[in-house]
Amino acid sequence: MRSRRRALLSCAVVSLALVAAACSDVSSSSSGGGASVPANSDTTINFAINPWDGSAANVAVAEYLLKNQLGYSVSDKNVNEFAQFKQLSTGDLDATLEVWPSGHADDYKNYIANDNGVVDGGKLGAIGQIGWWFPTYMLQDHPELKTWDGLKQDWQLFETPNTPGEGTILDGDPSYVTFDDAIAKNLGLNMKAYYSGSESAELTELDTAYQDKKPILMYLWTPHWAMGKYDMTMMGLPKVTDQCTKDAADSPDAYACAYPEDVLYKAFNDQLQTKAPAAFAMLSAMQWTNDQQNTVSADIHSGMDPQEAAQKWIDANPTVWQPWVDAGLAAQAA
Amino acid sequence: MAVVRDDQSLLELSSAAGTARQAEHPWSRRLIWLAAIAALVAVGIALFPAGFPDGLVWDAAKPLNTANQWVIEHQRTNALFVHVLVPFKNTINSGVDQLTKGLARLTWLGLLALIVAVSGYVAGWRKAVVAGIGFGAIALLGYWADSLATLSLILVSVAIALVIGIPLGILCAGHPALEKFLRPVLDAMQTVPAFSYIIVFVLLFSGGATTAMLATVVFALPPAIRLTSLGIRQVPDDALEAGLAFGVTKRQLLRKVQLPLAKPAIMVGVNQTIMMALGIIVIAATVGYPGLGLKVLLALQGLHVGQALAAGLALVAMAIVLDRVTFGWSEADRRRRGSTDVHLFGWSISRRVLLILLAATVIVAVVVGRQVLRQQDFPDTYVVSIAPTVDRVDESVIHAIGHYTRSLSDVGTTRILTPLTDLLTAMPWWMVCLGAAAAAFAAARRWTLAIMSFLCIAAIGFVGQWDNAMDTLAQVIVGVVVSVAIAIPIGIWSSRSDRVQRILKPLLDGMQTLPQFVYLVPVIALFHVGRIPGIIAALIYALPPCIRLTDLGIRQVPHDRVEAALAFGADERQLLRKVQLPLAKPSIMLGVNQTIMMVLSVVIIAGLVGGQGLGYQVINGLSHDFGTALVAGLCILLLAIVIDRITQAMGQPAGRAATGPHPIGWFFGTSRARRAAVEVGGDEIPGAIPAGKGEG
């Protein structure tokens, strides 16, 4: 009995001590802010970060400004660009800053147009362009590759064991919308899309080919960090017409044009404006160019912490982001 | 299990002799068979339409996609979602989050002290050292903060898996009908690629901790159930009778007799559950769950090989520590047998005193961490960054051998894979199904298995995945052939030398624990995007079980048979070919079976590196064709079931029913399996679990 009482007593002491130790404060990130920063820190804005550096760049800059200029708390989640809509609609996420319209027509219809919890947050400012890209060094010996006609005679350059008898168009992540097979067939080219299954597979292949100056034709897009590392040229495809846009929606197998420009847009949870009017106003006003985003992306890609990369750009470009913050402050006061 | 019992020795010796006689002219007979099959196949291809007719295909994906659509539209209003699913999700999400934050609040020093203390208390001081080194490595690599999220996911998932699994296992032990019903379900849970069913959870719960936890529980539950059931069923009858003779109730019997005696097996179950949970961490990261898995994924996306390896190594370290500690716990528990004293370096202290001492140490560490060091995360200045070195080594290796490996890959694709795939897709579907049925019958001599094989393969065609399945099948065949061709010689070599076995052990453990994602980028750089990288990834994952089981099988050949053969004047080669290999055949066949299952489980990875086939269909469907992803996953399951049953049957001597339980410890290979067999059966090593003893 005595030993049991002793054991109980020691357990009580142990737990009290643990609780006491846990309660005391310890170094964590200090809540910064000058005198003029509004007190919004009990509201947390949740961002979606999609698996590409541009998305991380957008979110890093937005988070930095929301925290330091508007006093909000921020958090982010890594989420695939399709899964994010569901979380936006339920409120698990508040904002995503870069949606590519060409891949998300269904999501726009299901979630935004049908008022299923998500609202259009306006343009991001950056313009996306998907296309068939190849290394510029190929133009030296094959200048005809500048446009798709060149493939009629040069398809064999791109033949690989994966597509015997046809040239390979290397595709990546299957979640990215592609019309490559349709374009090749409808333009009468002896090319076939080969799906590598992931963006990293596609880019590794590019790296290998680029180092040996071998031919490669791939589905790629700008803005992308690879554009900063490799000198790539986009192959000319037939201009986008209204018929093309119609085909993309109704009969993708008939598509025979270049990929349309992707006017990247933002999407928010429909309660964001009520929950955090200043954040909503700032994020709606946020717009920047491909080059600006690429600067921050390149830093992130080379290993810089996203917040540091954001701070570096923010310190250097006050004129760009001040209007966004002003819009936020105006909504705060209102 | 590959345990050779004495009463079979005569039978096996004579069958080995019989085989030796047949071996006089085996090739002529085999050649005739092969020629006949080739002729049949050629005729079939020539006369009948290739593959699976479109008219018979049923669009299985459509109903599932409709369901997805329905959920999107109703998830915010439907009562089930609002009152059940969403609160459930929020509870789990915040629970896991709080646990992670709690672990962080202990500071790195405090938590490290806690882990070392707990490991030492339950598993002995040696395991405490292992734990210290392992988690110390995680801290030094710079992934301490990330490992906390992973650790809390593991803890919560394993806790839930055990809470569900152990009672279910107890039920199964008492009701064999339930066990029989559950067996295919459990098989499915372990074979259907996690990517397939994770979609269902994403549909219901969005991405995040809940989805990750549920996927982990699904994957990790089977060992808990199987091993609990096995343990309870193995309780010796005389112990049960003794208990009943004393007049205990059924519940008392369970609590006082069955569970304590089943404890070793249950602990192996806990160990395996944890290993399974760790195996799925990177997949949990694909739904956005933070931690080590996500670090691997993000590093991969930027092609940062060094960072991916560092994060992967942190994961391996965690896996090794958890594995050794939980396994050590079950062994130490057995050794202790209820004693209350601990003998440490010549002193003897009561366990209670030890507990208080350790608790005090941990508290001191926490306090030091919080008040003195004032740092929750491991200080950056002491982090050893291995990423740049790894990147440089990676680049030089690729530069040096890349040309050769890439040419090899091209030749392999053009000369072997493409023709094989073309052959399989050119064959009429019913011919492939008949082939499977014929193989099943030849292996097991049972009509039911043959019919089931036919139906399963045909079903793949019915749901519209025929060509993809043939593509995958070709890759699996090549992968398995190459694996076995490499593994068996290495296994033989390892069986001859203890030193080789000791050196191989951590290497093989690493090959099975390191997330495949980590080495995908170098593999693609070495072998081109295509079908070969997937096969290489499968090779790395599938070699360990085959090597281990070959080693085990040969080592288990009883010495007297080896001596008898040597007495007859056999040289080493004859000894190997005529005595050791035939007698090791069950174990080797088990190794082949495991190799095939491992290769199949990596099919998804192949889809990420250009392997196309069913793996790609799952990946493809993940984002916008959820129905196809599930269907493709089920097809992988069907292929796995058929191949598994056929190869398991091939491993048994003719006439034996092929209904063996799924080998325990298959995740980590035979050292585990053997140890587990000892734990629960105790008939191999003298002085093992004496029946009837236990905590009274």
CA distance B327 to B264: 10
- Minimal CA separation from A205 to chain B, in Å: 6
Q: How confident is the model at residue B119 (pLDDT cuts 50, 70, 90)?
A: very high
What tokens does A308 get?
Answer: 């540091």
* CATH number reported for the structural domain that contains residue A9 in this entry: 3.40.190.10
Q: Which long-range contacts (CB under 8 A, 24 or more apart) does A134-140 make?
A: A134/A215, A134/A216, A134/A217, A134/A218, A134/A232, A134/A233, A134/A235, A135/A206, A135/A209, A135/A210, A135/A213, A135/A216, A135/A230, A135/A231, A135/A232, A135/A233, A136/A231, A136/A232, A136/A233, A137/A213, A137/A231, A138/A215, A138/A233, A139/A233
Q: Which residues of B touch A203 (CB under 8 A)?
A: 303
Interface of B with A in 180-239 (CB under 8 A): 202, 206-208
pLDDT at residue A272 above 80? yes
User: Do A69 and A116 fall within a single domain?
Assistant: yes
- As a whole number, mean pLDDT of residues A56-74 equals 94
CA distance B337 to B330: 11
Q: Which residues of B touch A87 (CB under 8 A)?
A: 206-208
Contact A199 B301 (CB under 8 A): yes
Cis preceding-peptide flag for B582 (omega within 30 of 0): no
User: Do A21 and A94 fall within a single domain?
Assistant: yes
What secondary structure, in 3-state letters, does B433-454 show? HHHHHHHHHHHHCCHHHHHHHH
Please indicate whether residue B693 or residue A117 has the higher confidence score (pLDDT): A117
Please indicate whether residue B641 or residue B130 has the higher confidence score (pLDDT): B130
At position B288, the amino acid (one-letter code) is: G
Task: Kindly report the average pLDDT of chain A as a whole number.
Answer: 86
Q: Please tell me which of the candidates B208, B376, B619 has its beta carbon nearest to residue A174.
A: B619
* Residue whose tokens read 């398991």: B648
Please indicate whether residue B52 or residue B418 has the higher confidence score (pLDDT): B418
Instruction: Give me the pLDDT at residue B604, please.
Output: 81
Q: Which long-range contacts (CB under 8 A, 24 or more apart) does B405-410 make?
A: B405/B526, B405/B527, B406/A208, B406/B526, B406/B527, B406/B528, B408/B527, B409/A161, B409/B526, B409/B527, B409/B528, B409/B530, B409/B532, B409/B533, B410/A160, B410/A161, B410/B528
A135 touches chain B (CB under 8 A): no
Alpha helices, DSSP H only, in B445-558?
A: 447-462, 466-496, 498-513, 516-527, 531-555
* Residue whose tokens read 């590794």: A204
Q: Is B638 within 8 Å of B432 (Cβ atoms)? A: no
- Minimal CA separation from B138 to chain A, in Å: 20
A17 touches chain B (CB under 8 A): yes
Please indicate whether residue A36 or residue B384 has the higher confidence score (pLDDT): B384
Q: How confident is the model at residue A166 (pLDDT cuts 50, 70, 90)?
A: very high
Substitution target from A25, A114, A200, A297 for chain B, most B beta carbons within 10 A: A200
* Residue whose tokens read 């446009």: A147
pLDDT at residue B9 above 70? no
Instruction: Give me the pLDDT at residue A220, please.
Output: 92
Instruction: Give me the pLDDT at residue A334, please.
Output: 72
- As a whole number, mean pLDDT of residues A15-24 equals 58
What is the phi/psi pair of residue A25, to 5°?
-80, 155
SS3 B371: helix
pLDDT 10s digits, B292-323: 999 998 888 788 899 999 999 999 999 989 98
Instruction: Give me the pLDDT at residue A8, please.
Output: 66
Q: How confident is the model at residue B19 (pLDDT cuts 50, 70, 90)?
A: low
pLDDT 10s digits, A283-319: 999 999 988 998 898 888 888 889 999 999 999 999 9
- As a whole number, mean pLDDT of residues B46-72 equals 78
The C-alpha torsion from A132 through A136 and A137 to A138, rounded to 10°, is 30
Instruction: Give me the pLDDT at residue A27, please.
Output: 43
At position A101, the amino acid (one-letter code) is: P
Q: Which residues pair with A133 in a beta bridge?
A: A218, A234
Instruction: Give me the pLDDT at residue B415, please.
Output: 92
Structural domain ending residue among the three candidates A261, A283, A314: A261
Q: Please tell me which of the candidates A111, A164, A197 has its beta carbon nearest to residue B414.
A: A164
User: Do A21 and A93 fall within a single domain?
Assistant: yes
Substitution target from B198, B292, B303 for chain A, most A beta carbons within 10 A: B303
User: Do A238 and A189 fall within a single domain?
Assistant: yes
B86 sits in which H/E element: helix B86-105
Q: Is B564 within 8 Å of B11 (Cβ atoms)? A: no
Contact A92 B615 (CB under 8 A): no
Q: How many CA atoms lie within 13 A of B251 on its CB side?
A: 0
Closest residue by Cα to residue B372 from A27, A211, A55: A27
Closest residue by Cα to residue B1 from B685, B681, B687: B681
Between B73-82, B235-244, B466-475, the lowest mean confidence (pLDDT) is in B73-82
pLDDT 10s digits, A234-255: 999 999 888 888 877 778 788 8
pLDDT at residue A63 above 90? yes
Q: Which residues of B touch A117 (CB under 8 A)?
A: 76
Instruction: Give me the pLDDT at residue B13, please.
Output: 58
User: Do A16 and A85 fall within a single domain?
Assistant: yes
Instruction: Give me the pLDDT at residue B644, please.
Output: 82
Instruction: Give me the pLDDT at residue B499, please.
Output: 93
CA distance A310 to B554: 61
User: Do A239 and A324 fall within a single domain?
Assistant: no
Contact B624 A82 (CB under 8 A): yes
Contact B207 A207 (CB under 8 A): no
Q: Which residues of A touch B286 (CB under 8 A)?
A: 80
Task: For residue B334, count other CB atoms closer than 10 A to its CB.
Answer: 16
* Residue whose tokens read 């064991």: A161
Please indicate whether residue B204 or residue B499 has the higher confidence score (pLDDT): B499
Instruction: Give me the pLDDT at residue B1, please.
Output: 39
Please state the separation of Cα A226 from the chain's center in Å.
14
CA distances from A120 to A269, A280, A325, B34 (A): 9, 11, 20, 65
A142 touches chain B (CB under 8 A): no
Structural domain ending residue among the three candidates A213, A245, A261: A261
Q: What percent of chain A has pLDDT over 70?
A: 90
Q: Chains A and B: how many Cβ contacts under 8 Å?
A: 180
B413 touches chain A (CB under 8 A): yes
* CATH number reported for the structural domain that contains residue A174 in this entry: 3.40.190.100
User: Do A26 and A43 fall within a single domain?
Assistant: yes
Instruction: Give me the pLDDT at residue A128, please.
Output: 92
The DSSP annotation for A66-133 comes to HHHHH-EEEEEEE--TTHHHHHHHHTS--EEEEE-GGG-HHHIIIIIITTSSEEEEEEEEEEEEEEEE
pLDDT at residue B654 above 50? no
Instruction: Give me the pLDDT at residue B63, please.
Output: 81
A252 sits in which H/E element: none
Contact A90 B367 (CB under 8 A): no
pLDDT at residue A82 above 90? no
Between B383-387, B456-460, B586-590, the lowest mean confidence (pLDDT) is in B586-590
Please indicate whether residue B345 or residue B177 has the higher confidence score (pLDDT): B177
Contact A161 B410 (CB under 8 A): yes
pLDDT at residue B688 above 70? no
CA distances from A301 to A70, A183, A306, B419, B599 (A): 28, 32, 9, 41, 33
- As a whole number, mean pLDDT of residues A33-42 equals 71
Structural domain ending residue among the three candidates A261, A288, A306: A261
pLDDT 10s digits, A172-181: 877 777 889 9
Q: Please tell me which of the candidates B76, B294, B302 has its beta carbon nearest to residue A78.
A: B294
Q: Residues 6 or more apart from B31 whose CB is under 8 A from it?
A: none
Q: Is B232 within 8 Å of B173 (Cβ atoms)? A: yes
What tokens does B76 get?
Answer: 């915010």
- Minimal CA separation from A284 to chain B, in Å: 25
SS3 A269: strand
- As a whole number, mean pLDDT of residues B77-103 equals 88
Instruction: Give me the pLDDT at residue A21, please.
Output: 55
- Minimal CA separation from B530 to chain A, in Å: 6
Instruction: Give me the pLDDT at residue B44, please.
Output: 82
Q: Is A263 within 8 Å of A123 (Cβ atoms)? A: yes
Task: Please give the biggest Cα pair distance in chain A.
Answer: 94
Please indicate whether residue A168 or residue B67 has the higher confidence score (pLDDT): A168
Q: Which residues of A touch B110 (CB under 8 A)?
A: 21
For residue A242, the enclosing domain spans 129-261
Substitution target from B529, B535, B604 for chain A, most A beta carbons within 10 A: B529
- Minimal CA separation from A334 to chain B, in Å: 30
B300 touches chain A (CB under 8 A): yes
Task: For residue B296, count other CB atoms closer than 10 A to its CB.
Answer: 27
pLDDT at residue A28 above 80? no
Q: Residues 6 or more apart from B322 whose CB is under 8 A from it?
A: B154, B274, B275, B278
- As a whole number, mean pLDDT of residues B550-579 equals 86
- As a whole number, mean pLDDT of residues B250-262 equals 85
User: Do A135 and A255 fall within a single domain?
Assistant: yes
pLDDT 10s digits, A203-225: 999 999 999 999 999 999 888 88
Between A141-145, B15-19, B286-290, the lowest mean confidence (pLDDT) is in B15-19
Intra-chain end-to-end CA distance of chain B, in Å? 31
CA distance B165 to B142: 35
Instruction: Give me the pLDDT at residue B565, please.
Output: 87
B622 touches chain A (CB under 8 A): yes
- As a whole number, mean pLDDT of residues B267-273 equals 85
- As a whole number, mean pLDDT of residues B464-469 equals 91
Instruction: Give me the pLDDT at residue B578, please.
Output: 85
Please indicate whether residue B301 or residue A137 has the higher confidence score (pLDDT): A137
Q: Residues 6 or more apart from A227 whose CB is under 8 A from it?
A: A294
User: How many domains would you assign to chain A?
Assistant: 2
Please indicate whether residue B188 or residue B527 has the higher confidence score (pLDDT): B527
CA distances from B318 to A139, B144, B270, B312, B540 (A): 50, 11, 16, 10, 20
Closest residue by Cα to residue B605 from B104, B61, B194, B100: B194
**DSSP 8-state assignment for residue A234:** E
User: Do A255 and A268 fall within a single domain?
Assistant: no
Contact A204 B521 (CB under 8 A): yes
- As a whole number, mean pLDDT of residues B337-343 equals 70
User: Do A95 and A171 fall within a single domain?
Assistant: no
- As a whole number, mean pLDDT of residues A184-207 equals 91
User: Do A134 and A241 fall within a single domain?
Assistant: yes
- As a whole number, mean pLDDT of residues B556-578 equals 86
pLDDT at residue A7 above 80? no
User: Do A118 and A77 fall within a single domain?
Assistant: yes
At position B123, the amino acid (one-letter code) is: A
Please state the separation of Cα A67 from the chain's center in Å.
21
Task: Kindly report the average pLDDT of chain B as a whole number.
Answer: 82
**DSSP 8-state assignment for residue A253:** G
